[in-house]
Amino acid sequence: MRALKLTERFKSTQETSSTSKTSKSAKPTRYRIQQFVSKPKSRINITISEIEKNFPFPLPSSDILEPSIDPYLKPINLVETLADLYSRLENCPQSHKTSLCIEQFSLLRSLGDQKLLRRCLRTARQHAEDVPSKVVLSAWLRFERREDEFVGVSSMDCNGYILECPKSNLVSGFSPCSVISHCQCPQHPKQEIPTTSEENKSLPEEESDVSFCIGDEEIECVRYRIAALSEPFKAMLYGSFAESQLSKIEFSRNGICPKAMRAVELYSRTKRLDLFCAKTVLEVLSFANRFCCEGMKSDCDAHLASIVGNVEDALVLIDYGIEERASLLVGSCLQVLLRELPNSLYNSKVIKILSSPEAKESLAMVGYASFLLYYFLSQVAMEESMVSKTTLMLLERLGECASERWQKALAFHQLGCVLLERKEYKDSQRYFEAAAEAGHVYSMAGVARTKHKQGQPYSAYKLISSIIFEYKPAGWMYQERALYNIGREKSFDLEFATQLDPSLSFPYKYRALAKVEEKQIKEGISELDRIIGFKLSPDCLELRAWLFIALEDFKSAARDVRALLTLEPNYLTSHGKIKGEYLVQLLSHRIQLKSQADCWMQLYEQWSSVDDIGSLAIIHQMLENEPGKSLLEFRQSLLLLRLNCQKAAMRSLRLARNHSSSMQERLIYEGWILYDTGYREEALAKAERSISIQRSFEAYFLKAYVLADASLDAESSSYVIQLLEDALKCPSDGLRKGQALNNLGSIYVDCGKLDLAKECYTNALAIRHTRAHQGLARVYHQKNQRKSAYDEMTKLIEKAENNASAYEKRSEYCDREMAKADLDTATQLDPLRTYPYRYRAAVMMDEQKETEAVEELTKAINFKPDLQMLHLRAAFYESMGDMSSALRDCQAALCLDPNHTDTMNLYRRTQKLSM
């Protein structure tokens, strides 16, 4: 079943054989891990030759290190593209909305916000009209939540919502519904099917007046009933044919057995098919096709579609469905295969049905070979393996189904990426060029890369330089050109790439390795610290871990490897050669392992110092000591959410749900999953049901958290306060109680009960919930004690390992110059935080520096098109009288969130002013 699985899910930088010889200029660093396990400790300030003795495989030289080409659309002018898309969404007919929502999904993938992407898929499913689209989008939504990982949940189970109900997907036509509209199918228990004798008893007596002879058997029928099945039968039985005068009709040569003919006879009187086995109904379906019995064919199609329950059924029936043009049956079979993803990708029979050119032609005959289908399949395949034959074949089908420019650009670009990973450079270049011809300028980076791989570095350099000259500069352009540059020019390009887009990880990795080659390992680690401080990625954590090994700081190395394994449990280190888990085991020989009690103590330390990566590592070790501990997996998910690792957080939540020891606990985790995926009311229901079973801290906390997410009036605030107080009365540990006290203090501040809020924050600090300093500062600020508020935030800055947000918050409690200094520091620590840019821009507008204010926002929008920044820039443009730019920014912001009230009001106002 898993014969097609490939181990290299995430391919590292260009692979270099440990036995190959490298030129002197490449400065290779070779490391043998089996030696560092038993090697005696040496001095810290070691040379490159000494580092080479420690690692199993070579770290990439800075000269051969390469960034990957991102396999998604990256428009040159994303804001303009989003604005145009929103304009089209506003004015398009209902039938086009699904296609536009998928285009929106493709454009927003580069932002990496899973909630945005999920909303696009939901909206696309809401507006879907045809069965093929409903089947694919429902399965896609299910795949994004990874419900296949829920213990006890079948792929064909209905979760209660229309958008994902397998039965509602097989109903053609648009039916208005909301994201949380419930379906009725789970509420109807299956009715027992009456036996044939019981069925016959309830039928009115009708005298048979014609018999169909098949072999030695005669099937007695009611002539007018058979005639009503189709026009051909009507003509045969009542027209000028000889059969109209016969009471016995020879029917042996019409490809139907006596049993199936009896089924036809019974159907002609009762319209029932559920009394017969699938084989018989299939024969009736074939018979209906031959004699144009459209009603009977439709009912056979629907009946067979309703009995497809697993992959085995689907594999048997889909060929029959295609052969007989039974679209519902094909849809039902396809739905099972899609809802079993990614597991079904490892079934060779499934791959044969989905990915071959002949299979695509067969699916096209029944209306199922669509761009949408192959888009979904290819994305799942790429996530499993970028280099598998299956991935390549599905992307080829995607390209064949592409009709619009953006679809061709996406399909060809992704084909280029996959072929580049497969080292098929000539074909890769051809597809990248096709994508660029379809309007995707970013694909030119792929063209340059393939030219470089084919020994044409100067041609690659000239190509990227021409793009920099022709288009608005972007970080990826300078990053790509740096690959074909040397010396100072290379460093300049990478520094400029970081200025334009600080979220690009490659420049940091390059500079770190360059420092290592200059025997400045600590400086290399500091360079990696810069990006890891605001963007957690496995590749940067891995590289930093190897550098810590070079310094023989095995404790820090183990921390980083454990953290990256939390993000990607199956991660392969050292160019895909060593399992991360194995590396942890090797490192464990050089550090003192802690007991579970010691781990809890250290977790308190890390939590108190706001060291989220350290906390992740400790929890990973604790889960090694106690595998399947749901409480720890839940804590892990909270940390991952705080670090903006949404997919990994949801995986941890699913594991917590699966490993929960009681129904009461399981309901809590299911509630958090529902809340994080947008089902607020359902999350509340889970919390209430959990409380009805057993009063617990987590159930009360969940309910309070969900309710507090909405705008609270005085009555609802009191209710949330009561829930949090009830939570604090239940047993829990200090980590969670500190969070509850912090949340309670926040509600008290909102209600103006400052003394009670101060008491909550003080109690939270007493149990080392360091973030409570921020709440206490807010209390002091509300009491007009700005100095005390400033001092309180200074304490948080001193204690917190990750303190960009603390600098940002402290800026609110000091004068303008000090605030600017704090916000500049916040931007250095975390350039992805948007408030500092908005503040600086607002100050510039106050000083009537309109152009500078817009430039400040534009600088950040270019690498992070944030809703709030787009809204603010639109407001600036409006005040400057530039209505066209204001409209564009409003439309782009509304493409990110169509329900943002302030932006919608600004949009309508600028529309009126621009008329």
pLDDT digits (tens, 9 = 90+) for 387-407: 999 999 999 999 999 999 999
- Is residue 332 over pLDDT 60? yes
| pLDDT tens digit sequence for 572-631 | 887 667 888 888 888 888 888 889 999 999 999 998 899 999 999 999 999 999 999 999
- Asked if residue 542 lies in contact with residue 572, where contact means CB atoms within 8 angstroms, the answer is no
pLDDT value, residue 869: 97
Lowest mean pLDDT among 28-32, 730-734, 766-770, 813-817: 28-32
Q: At 147, is the pLDDT very low, low, confident or very high (cuts 50, 70, 90)?
A: low
What's the pLDDT tens digit per position in 497-509? Answer: 999 999 999 999 9
Looking at the chain, the whole-number percentage of residues with pLDDT higher than 70 is 90
Paired sense of beta strands 217-221 and 210-214, if any: antiparallel
Domains of the chain: 210-307 (3.30.710.10), 842-914 (1.25.40.10)
**Is a pLDDT exceeding 90 seen at residue 417?**
yes
Query: Quick check: 753 and 782 in contact, CB under 8 A?
Result: no
Q: For residue 366, is pLDDT > 90?
A: yes
Structure-derived torsion over alpha carbons of residues 878, 883, 887, 889, reported in degrees to the nearest 10: -60
Taking alpha carbons only, the member of 609, 541, 646, 606 closest to residue 619 is: 606
649 closest CA partner among 115, 48, 220? 115
pLDDT digits (tens, 9 = 90+) for 703-742: 999 999 877 788 889 999 999 999 999 999 888 999 999 9
**Contact between 417 and 395 (Cβ < 8 Å):** no
For the cut 50, the answer to whether the pLDDT of residue 347 exceeds it is yes
Model pLDDT for residues 418-473, shown as the tens digit of each residue: 999 999 999 999 999 999 999 999 999 999 999 999 999 999 999 999 999 999 99
List, as one string, the DSSP characters of 406-472. Answer: HHHHHHHHHHHHHHHHTT-HHHHHHHHHHHHHTT-TTHHHHHHHHHHHTT-HHHHHHHHHHHHHHS-
CA–CA separation, 857 vs 859, rounded Å? Answer: 5
The amino acid sitting at 368 is: Y
773 has a pLDDT exceeding 90: yes
- 274 three-class SS: coil
Residue at token pair 């300028």: 441
What separation, in Å, do the N-terminal and C-terminal C-alpha atoms of the chain show? 62
The CA–CA distances, whole Å, from 435 to 105, 357, 404 equal 18, 21, 12
Distance CA 60, CA 506 (A): 12
**pLDDT at residue 154, rounded to an integer:** 74
Q: Which amino acid is at 707?
A: L
Asked whether the bond before 67 is cis by omega within 30 degrees of 0, the reply is no
pLDDT of residue 199: 44
Segment 87-92 mean pLDDT: 94
Tell me the residue type at 300: C
Tens of pLDDT, residue by residue over 232-281, are 999 999 988 888 889 899 998 888 999 999 999 999 999 999 889 999 99
The pLDDT score that the predictor gives to residue 739 is 94
pLDDT band at 42 (very low <50, low <70, confident <90, very high): very low
Provide the sign of the torsion angle of the four alpha carbons 848, 854, 857, 859, taken in this order.
negative
Q: Which residues are within 8 A (CB) of 112 and not within 5 positions of it... i.e. 6 or more apart?
A: none
Residues 383, 389: contact at Cβ < 8 Å? no
The confidence score (pLDDT) of residue 175 equals: 74
Given a cut of 80, whether residue 195 has pLDDT beyond it is no
Average pLDDT taken over every residue of the chain: 88
- Assess whether pLDDT exceeds 80 at residue 16: no
Question: Is the separation of the CB atoms in 849 and 841 below 8 Å?
Answer: no
The radius of gyration of the chain from alpha carbons, rounded to an integer in Å, stands at 32
Asked if 650 contacts 634 with a C-beta cutoff of 8 angstroms, the reply is no
Residue 482 identity: A
| 494 contacts 478 by C-beta, under 8 angstroms | yes
Q: Is the pTM of this model over 0.85?
A: yes
Question: Can you give the pLDDT at residue 192?
Answer: 43
Please, what's the largest Cα pairwise distance for the chain?
108
The CA-CA-CA angle for residues 25, 28, 30, to 5°, reads: 165
65-88 confidence digits (pLDDT tens): 899 999 999 999 999 999 999 999
Does pLDDT of 227 surpass 50?
yes
Contacts of 217 (CB under 8 A, 6+ apart): 258
